[in-house]
Structure 1
Amino acid sequence: MAVSRLEGVPGIGVDRMGDAADGAADPDLLRLENLDTDLRPLAAALEATRIAIDDDNANSYLPFPGHERLRHAVASHVGRGVREIDWQHTLITAGGLNGILNVLLATLEPGDEVVLTDPVYAGLLNRVRVAGGVPSLARLEPSAAGWSLDLDSLRAAVSARTRVLLMMSPSMPSGSVLDRPAWDAVTELCLERDLLLVVDTAMERILFDGRLAIDPLALDGMADRTIIVGSASKELRMIGWRVGWVVAPPALVHDIGLVCISNVVCQVGIAQTAVAVALEAGDGDVAAAAAEWERRRDVILAELDGLPVIPPHGGWSMLLDIRSLGHTAEEASERLFRLGRVAATPMTNWGSERAGDYVRFVFANEPCERLRGFGDRVRAALL
């Protein structure tokens, strides 16, 4: 029997689909099940990694909060040239989700509620539960134009037990991007109810159709109650480097740092200078990658024209409503794999029961050329 902290902590499904896809060893199989990408990191970051292998300072536990150059780079990146962020208010973590867990462990009492959007990455839900928190879900509403946050549902998700609003924009798995009214509603709730805002910024610059990022730290009254958690994995395509960061108000830095030391102890030493180099390069590298991912999104949307797919406004993935096609998520995933040679993850447990109406297609790892004909595969498997 599992220990109590693992009650309600299911698997995320991606591992199972990834294992099946690896085991098939079929070059014709479209790998749309996990958040890998074929776009390489910045060349200068790769070279910095190679150099770090021979640097003895990169083979050390110290300093525990992370290398100073990277912490300065994070402070500059999060400040966006608009505000000065004290680099000592930054902490380097072993990936973004390690940062999320550390923040939750440092800010939640057992039984505290955390508001997230629905559908949502199952890994975020599971970290809330492992930290002793209770997820409370606010609906993302689908339409032919994309996803939007139901503001009434957001307000209803907040209770007397709520401690944190955990937002991600663009979010996984939907690609939903919070607009100004949504951020204003988040701000209003945080100020009225004395709540913390934790923002997962792993994909904040991966925006489509000319959308611009909204800076959570610029929201009126939010600088002292907002915790930014970032990652090199998505925007910088440095998945295997396992480097993330936390930028927190001064009053919380010590506690989060204590959890960091008590959890993973330190970050990947040989990766930190490389991530600093990538952050210091500015937005151009990320913008070029985002433009390629937008082209892939557009190919898939054209291929699935006429099917109930919800267009993402950013990020790496999109959802297809397979319940309306007469399948469960598990059935659709199996049929896509067997009949369409498409690896796609069912969204079971990725939020409320309604998340089980969808399968997810990740478009970060397959070039446009291989995505041609994708619609025929989907129709052959599901219609």
Structure 2
Amino acid sequence: MTRPLLNRRLAAFGTTIFAEMSALAARTGSINLGQGFPDTDGPEEVREAAVRALREGRGNQYPPGPGVPELRTAIADHQRTRYGLEYDPDTEVLVTAGATEAIAAALLALVEPGDEVIALEPYYDSYAACVAMAGGTRVPVTLRPHDGRYVLDLDELRAAVTPRTRLLLLNTPHNPTGTVLTRAELAAVAELAVERDLLVITDEVYEHLVLDDLPHIPLASLPGMRDRTVTISSAGKTFSFTGWKVGWTTASPALTTAVRSAKQFLTYVSSGPFQYAVAEALRLPDAYFDGLRAELRAKRDLLSDGLERAGFGVHRPAGTYFVTTDIRPLGATDGLDFCRSLPERAGVVAIPNAVFYDHRAEGAPFVRFAFCKRTDVLEEAVARLERLA
């Protein structure tokens, strides 16, 4: 055959960096601080809720297309009690196979070939692939470190909007940088979206992982944004059950209908019994969410302090469970080479941030470590990394 087998839209996307680095960790026996998944399960009562649903036959067959009513109601209640956002669970909430499917379904539904999608780089790798599958053109706006945090250049964002711009794709708290967009930054985004009549998809899966004294502010809560924003979140990061793949969108009836039209031809439905369990998880008391943040804050500081002692430049995150580091103080400039050699040098695996950039040079000297691991694992990783000093 003269024609390549792989669709040309996906030709640039090979094996993910997560698969490569996880395989490297397994092959070398290294501590895997690359892929962002916890190494312990979430609350026992939530796991037991899933077992109970299985035994009672709830969700063992196809659940309703939009999601089970109990979960859709819990999601609507969560948005109202946490953020003052009112959503109708029947017409404005859609359950998906994790946030990744929600992102794919939203982009496939709302983007046509030739449309431009502005995304903040560095960005989660599925964003680029989903924009490509939808036939859109990805337009990156780069977050850059300044005074201890990664910041959004609002002038650069405004300049990136053209007559072909269809939507903005935002992620806050932001993976991989750990920055949390401020109210002022979000207000400027909202003003621009209203002015230029843009749709916005917001990936807010780390909403409960804001580690410092900052609020999580859903973009949909700002003036003019309720009916032009698709808000995405999931249970994986908040409750440490990433394998359950339960995500959701909240949006106006028109946007929800559009996203559902695409979603129904992807997985159709998924995670039946787990949906009932997540409905119970969303109703856990505030003490659970406060305890999760406190635990992750301590782990962030443990790893960040160790990375600083090892000689890295550390950008301590305000949210998520990732630390971005600068390898230039260690005499290195290429994060990909650095990460491929790190298991042999220190017995630890990390992720090079450059793979999350279109402008690879912008991300070349930065490397990401995950701290959603047991304390003893992080302590051992720190001890190994300090050999680099």
Q: Same fold (TM over 0.5)?
A: yes
Q: Mean Cα displacement is larger for which, 275-284 or 171-180? A: 275-284
CA-to-partner distance for each residue in 1:163-211, whole Å, 9 max, x for gaps? 1111111111111110112101110110011001111110012112211
Q: How does 1:282-361 map to 2 (within 5 A)?
A: 282-305=285-308, 307-323=312-328, 325-351=331-357, 352-353=359-360, 354-361=362-369
**Counterpart check, 1:72 vs 2:69:** no
Q: Secondary structure at the match of 1:183?
A: helix
Structure 1 ranges of 4+ moved more than 4 A: 373-376
In structure 1, distance between residues paired with 2:185 and 2:373 = 30
Note if contact 1:118-1:355 (Cα within 8 Å) is conserved in structure 2: no
Note if contact 1:208-1:314 (Cα within 8 Å) is conserved in structure 2: yes
**Counterpart check, 1:87 vs 2:92:** no
Letter in 2 for 1:42: P
In structure 2, distance between residues paired with 1:239 and 1:194 = 35
**Residue aligning to 2:36:** 35
Q: CA deviation at 1:347?
A: 2.3
Match of 2:20 among 16, 20, 32: 16
Identity of aligned residues (%): 33
CA-to-partner distance for each residue in 1:317-371, whole Å, 9 max, x for gaps? 121222563231122112211110111122232112122322110111241x443
What is the TM-score when the length of structure 2 is the normalising length?
0.92
Q: CA deviation at 1:7?
A: 3.4
Q: CA deviation at 1:39?
A: 4.1
**Counterpart check, 1:202 vs 2:205:** yes
Match of 1:212 among 207, 210, 215: 215
In structure 1, distance between residues paired with 2:154 and 2:87 = 31
In structure 2, distance between residues paired with 1:20 and 1:281 = 37
Q: Secondary structure at the match of 2:277?
A: helix
Q: CA deviation at 1:118?
A: 1.4
In structure 1, distance between residues paired with 2:230 and 2:367 = 31
Q: Secondary structure at the match of 1:155?
A: helix
Residues 65 and 377 (structure 1), Cα distance of their counterparts in 2 relative to 1, 3 Å cut? same
Letter in 2 for 1:377: R
**Counterpart check, 1:151 vs 2:154:** yes
Q: CA deviation at 1:79?
A: 2.3
Q: CA deviation at 1:14?
A: 0.7
Note if contact 1:69-1:273 (Cα within 8 Å) is conserved in structure 2: yes
Q: CA deviation at 1:374?
A: 4.5
Q: CA deviation at 1:300?
A: 1.8
In structure 2, distance between residues paired with 1:245 and 1:170 = 17
Q: CA deviation at 1:152?
A: 1.7
Residues 109 and 136 (structure 1), Cα distance of their counterparts in 2 relative to 1, 3 Å cut? same
In structure 1, distance between residues paired with 2:9 and 2:56 = 40
Query: Where does structure 2 lack aligned partners over 5 or more consecutive residues?
Result: none
Residues 55 and 5 (structure 1), Cα distance of their counterparts in 2 relative to 1, 3 Å cut? farther
Note if contact 1:9-1:129 (Cα within 8 Å) is conserved in structure 2: no
In structure 1, distance between residues paired with 2:218 and 2:243 = 27
CA-to-partner distance for each residue in 1:68-111, whole Å, 9 max, x for gaps? 00000111112235243110111110111101100111100112
Q: CA deviation at 1:123?
A: 1.9
In structure 1, distance between residues paired with 2:207 and 2:34 = 21
In structure 2, distance between residues paired with 1:157 and 1:9 = 24
Note if contact 1:176-1:314 (Cα within 8 Å) is conserved in structure 2: yes
**Counterpart check, 1:267 vs 2:267:** no
Q: CA deviation at 1:30?
A: 2.3
Match of 1:242 among 224, 242, 245: 245
**Counterpart check, 1:371 vs 2:372:** no
**Residue aligning to 1:49:** 50
Q: Mean Cα displacement is larger for which, 297-306 or 261-270? A: 297-306
In structure 2, distance between residues paired with 1:233 and 1:56 = 23
Note if contact 1:143-1:310 (Cα within 8 Å) is conserved in structure 2: no
**Residue aligning to 2:174:** 171
Q: CA deviation at 1:282?
A: 4.3
Note if contact 1:241-1:271 (Cα within 8 Å) is conserved in structure 2: yes
In structure 1, distance between residues paired with 2:239 and 2:286 = 10
Q: Mean Cα displacement is larger for which, 158-167 or 351-360? A: 351-360
In structure 2, distance between residues paired with 1:49 and 1:21 = 31
Q: CA deviation at 1:130?
A: 1.8
Q: CA deviation at 1:66?
A: 0.8
Letter in 1 for 2:86: E
Q: Secondary structure at the match of 1:294?
A: helix
What is the TM-score when the length of structure 1 is the normalising length?
0.93
The count of aligned residue pairs is 378
Q: How does 1:87-166 map to 2 (within 5 A)?
A: 87-88=89-90, 89-143=92-146, 145-166=148-169
Query: Where does structure 1 lack aligned partners over 5 or more consecutive residues?
Result: none
In structure 2, distance between residues paired with 1:156 and 1:295 = 39
